[in-house]
Structure 1
Amino acid sequence: MSLMRTKWHAALLLGSLLIGASPALAEAVFHRGNSGEPQTLDSAHVSVDIEAFVLKDLFEGLTIYSADGKIVPGAAESWTVSEDGTVYTFKLRENAKWSDGSPVTAEDFVFSAQRVEDPKTAAEYANILYPIKNAEKVNKGEVPVDQLGVKAVDAKTVEYTLERPTPYFPQLMAHMTALPVNKANVEKFGKDYVKPGNMVSNGAFKLEAHIPNDSLTVAKNENYWDAANVKLDKVIFYPSEDDAANIRRFEAKELDTVYHFSSSEIKRLREQYKDQVRVTPALSTYYYSFDTRQEPYSDVRVRQALSMAIDREFLANEIYNGAQLPVYNLVPEGMEGYGKGPVPEWASMSQIDREDKALELMKEAGYGEGGKPLNIEIRYNTNTDHERVATAVADMWKNTFGAKVSLQNSDVSAHYAYLTEGGKFNVARAGWSADYGDPENFLSLMISTNKSFNYGHYNNPEYDALLKQSYDETDPAKRMELMKKAEEMINRDQPIASLMNYANLWLVSDRIKGWEDNAVNEHLSKYLSVAE
């Protein structure tokens, strides 16, 4: 009897172990390709989408984007706007908590906004919150931080007073720069608050581990207000910039998603993986910036000539296989109230006629054949398509002007860090995706006071004055006309050469459920689940 009882207990134990190991009880893990190592996890210093993807899983703003790309309540359950459009009052969720269990308070949002605008923080994206009363003055050190137009009405009510009506303000509150940080956490650890074991966050996930250039793991935050509806246990971000390797890992089922891959692979991948290949038009512009601080790029004729000699149709159709559209202006089409923006006069010329005109301008400026030699370095962030674009543009400039062109690449973090910190260059690849659906978001890149994102240091007082006038204009139609006049100046001065409107390229495995394509390229992991 004793032996039989032992066998019965052993069988029972084995059965329970097998049940415990069943797929139904296995961890739900999303293996997310992220095409680059985040430069930082500090919301005051992030600037690119691969950082935002991580940050927005960890932290939640007052507003967030829904799965289909619409603004919806986040840490705030609701908000109201004053009749004159200058005061926004957000009511925080009563059950909004930080990952350590402490309540999310209005004071956390006051502290976070003041921290971003404090000149001591040197936040690269501080200007995006300039619509807030006194934000620009605070950021420039003209008034103390406590004069910023953000105040805690009570523990769960935060009020923002604006400089002027800003219709897109709820979109700004979903931006990565507006994400809250835990005051006590930051004061305790300083800049080290971003490290695993230190970080306290209020989003659907919390930071578990980070091995630079290998992986970053976030785990479900049990204290998140909507934790009951979060279906993933973990999300592991993989920062590889190697397109071919990422595709191989997707095909081997090691990655559930891949962000950015060589467009030369679109046809093959579509044939094999069909609707797992996602190509979504975006409010984004791919452009080359000229460093206007130094010759010959300080000469508008040289900038115009170099821009005119670029065959955008070739880049879009031959390199990107139609996954991007050739463009000649900065603001992408589709902004509400703006329509299709102005383009340079030469945009309607044939490519041959453009090249002839470009040669005339270059000779007039004293460069090229019979003049000073043109030695150009193109900087770009490591990516197969960016390399192919740079190589093609180099050939165009060599063939048209006899220029000697060299290429220099670096990883995405180093590339943008160099540009935002004011490093000198000749020509640099850049891209901009809409933070909010308003042309101002693109045109503000060229304001002379935008020290972080005006990479080429374009300085035109007339342009700055037009943008300032648009900020003060309350009539929507007149405001749009002012911005179109400003874009006409960009077209004339060519501080940048706009090349293409982006499409977002994703590979999304069939095992990922809840994914929705959207123009703002927002894909919070809280909306997703995995199916084995």
Structure 2
Amino acid sequence: MRPDFSASVSGHHRSERMRFFLREMPSMLFRRILAAAILLLPVLTAGVLPAAPASAGEGPVLRRGNAAEPESLDPARADTMNAGRVLSDLFEGLVTLDPQNRPRPGAADHWTVSGDGLTYTFFLRAGLRWSDGSPLTAEDFVYSFRRAVDPAVASTYAYLLFPIVNAPDIVAGKNRDLSRLGVDAPDPQTVRIRLSRPTPYMLAAMAHSNLLPVKRANIEKFGSSFTQPGNLVSNGAFTLAEWTPQARIVLVRNPNYWDAANVHVGQVIIYPIASPNEEFNRYRAGELDITYTVPNAQLDQIRKTMADELHQSPQFELTFIGFNLTKPPFAGNPKLRQALSMVIDREALTGKLIRDGSPPAYSAVPPSGAPDYTPARISWSSLPMAERIARAKALYAEAGYGPDHPLTVEFRLQTDEDARKVAIAIASMWQTALGVKTSILNEDFKVLVEHRHEKQVTQAFYDAWVGDYPDPVTFLDLFTGSAGENDPGYSNPAYDALIAEAASTVDPAARRELLRKAEGLLLEDNAIAPTYNRVELYLAKPYVKGYSPNPCGYTFSKDVTVLPQ
């Protein structure tokens, strides 16, 4: 999931592309999604929670900010966290994710995994219904999974299903028979998924918003307009009542949801607000109960006057500097790449400029988001800055550069003022420590992505990635030789072999060790320069309880309680 660069600096709206990084709001996830799904654990405070209303729309209203208009409410075509956060209220997949990014029951109340790790069998809850009251069965999930790999639909996240038998060939158009996908329904209550290789993260991937169920009859009846109010039939805690573009989306409680008795919000109103300052002003005016982000310029004042309403949530996100490893000056020059990485004062960057609580990054996999995995770290991460700079100067000289022959480099990033401030700070560190001459080039997002993929003019670039699912592979796969998102052009057969071996390893501990070795190799090769791991800052009124974004960025309004004011 690649977030918009504005997603990588505190205070800017995170129009994130689930494919991550600067993709124009392109997160689910996933900031930059899933993307994966998120759980809001209700926080029980003093007093007794009010009983859930019996019918749609009755009960408290929750008003939420959203960074931008969802590009689509079709799960298979949603690319951004802006869409993902709405979809997670409208639909429910086989599983969801808890606040620690661990799978928990969703539409399926339990499941089994075969001993060889190749067959997942999900058992649906009894009596599931669509919002129109019609039965929801295993065939609905089979249809939805087949639709997600259909080349005619062109789902951005079809690759999440690649471990499933025949999925890659179907997506590539080599096999046009959708029924050949390794997903079937032995009976109306059972969904069986057959994999071509063990995939330990498969359960978590099932929580991704692109794998939510859709009703076939409605798609066949309404075509592309099936997502409009009055047409959309969903299976989540809420239904779509209104969608006024660039104004608001209104969701009402779904009385046919299996856990409707425990949904304490009657209505959710979601406002697409691109400006963090405008969103903050509307929050202060009492027009919002929860914000999507916090304006960086107002952060100090907010901490002084609204500390009890300011909340922080770690994200499964890495911001980093990528080097074009296919052309000079960085091709075949790991010492130069290491020198530039070493002189970046990450502590100063996060503590003095970003200031939102984001920790410095010294690994390729963020520390928050992948349960049971401890990331590898850059070998020199514990050295004091003075020693880092001294060693970097020696490496810089060994790489062929110095006062009489300084490195001249272009540093490209998406047009965004906050991102530019970070880039200027990094360029200043390079100049001060090594004498590097840096030209900062701001580019339109689409142009930047094109340049990174082509690898013809790009030298260094500012990038970020949000995990699509809670597993290290969502980051480490990016740097395999065949990965489409491998913008640095990193190519190391030893790295690819470790990733491939991990993919066929069933034992969790052995698999984690293989992935950690691969991550260590990536860092040793200095293919990228990790900079920081973003945290999510947001404001919530004191009467709002249970709102808790998980590391993949999803929230469930069903878990929120709005107390009497």
TM beyond 0.5: yes
Q: Return the TM-score normalized by structure 1.
A: 0.83
Structure-2 residue corresponding to 1:319? 353
Report percent identity of matched pairs: 37
Q: Which of residues 317, 335, 338 is equivalent to 2:373?
A: 338
SS in 2 for 1:259: coil
Do the aligned partners of 2:58 and 2:267 also contact (CA within 8 Å) in 1? no
Structure-1 residue corresponding to 2:134? 102
Distance 2:388 2:82 in 1: 36
- CA apart distance, 1:470: 0.5
- CA apart distance, 1:326: 1.0
Structure-1 residue corresponding to 2:96? 64
Structure-2 residue corresponding to 1:21? none
Structure-2 residue corresponding to 1:86? 118
Post-superposition CA distance 1:152-202 (Å, at most 9, x none): 112232111223444443322111122122223334444443344443322
* Matched residue type, 1:77: D
Distance 2:139 2:449 in 1: 31
Post-superposition CA distance 1:28-55 (Å, at most 9, x none): 3222112234343332343443332111
Structure with a larger share of its residues in helix? 1
After superposition, the CA RMSD in angstroms is 3.3
SS in 1 for 2:146: helix
Structure-2 residue corresponding to 1:405? 439
Structure-1 residue corresponding to 2:343? 309
Structure-2 residue corresponding to 1:441? 474
Q: Name whichever of 250-259 and 277-286 sits farther off.
A: 277-286
Closer, same or farther: CA 165–319 of 1 in aligned 2, 3 Å = same
Structure-2 residue corresponding to 1:210? 243
Gaps of 5+ in 2: 1-56
Kindly indicate whether residue 144 of structure 2 is the aligned counterpart of residue 112 of structure 1.
yes
Closer, same or farther: CA 322–226 of 1 in aligned 2, 3 Å = closer
Kindly indicate whether residue 537 of structure 2 is the aligned counterpart of residue 505 of structure 1.
yes
Q: Which of residues 262, 265, 268 is equivalent to 1:235?
A: 268
Do the aligned partners of 1:30 and 1:236 also contact (CA within 8 Å) in 2? yes
Do the aligned partners of 1:171 and 1:436 also contact (CA within 8 Å) in 2? yes
Do the aligned partners of 2:407 and 2:435 also contact (CA within 8 Å) in 1? no
Structure-2 residue corresponding to 1:458? 490
Structure-2 residue corresponding to 1:250? 283
- CA apart distance, 1:130: 2.8
RCO higher in 1 or 2 (8 Å CA, sep ≥ 6)? 2
- CA apart distance, 1:312: 0.8
1:287-436 matches, within 5 Å, as 287-301=320-334, 302-321=336-355, 323-333=357-367, 335-339=370-374, 341-359=375-393, 361=395, 370-371=404-405, 374-380=408-414, 382=416, 384=418, 386-399=419-432, 400-408=434-442, 425-436=458-469
Closer, same or farther: CA 344–83 of 1 in aligned 2, 3 Å = closer
Structure-2 residue corresponding to 1:530? 562
SS in 1 for 2:291: strand
Do the aligned partners of 1:67 and 1:523 also contact (CA within 8 Å) in 2? no
Do the aligned partners of 1:32 and 1:237 also contact (CA within 8 Å) in 2? yes
Do the aligned partners of 1:390 and 1:407 also contact (CA within 8 Å) in 2? no
- Bigger Rg, which one: 1
Post-superposition CA distance 1:295-318 (Å, at most 9, x none): 445454354343333221111211
- CA apart distance, 1:150: 0.7
Post-superposition CA distance 1:409-436 (Å, at most 9, x none): 668xx69976998797554444334444
Closer, same or farther: CA 308–224 of 1 in aligned 2, 3 Å = same
Do the aligned partners of 1:61 and 1:179 also contact (CA within 8 Å) in 2? yes
Structure-2 residue corresponding to 1:487? 519
* Matched residue type, 1:378: R
Closer, same or farther: CA 297–218 of 1 in aligned 2, 3 Å = farther
Distance 1:363 1:189 in 2: 65
Structure-2 residue corresponding to 1:15? none
Closer, same or farther: CA 507–113 of 1 in aligned 2, 3 Å = same
SS in 2 for 1:158: strand
Q: Return the TM-score normalized by structure 2.
A: 0.78
1:15-94 matches, within 5 Å, as 28-66=60-98, 71-94=103-126
* Matched residue type, 1:395: S
Q: Name whichever of 214-223 and 244-253 sits farther off.
A: 214-223
Gaps of 5+ in 1: 1-24
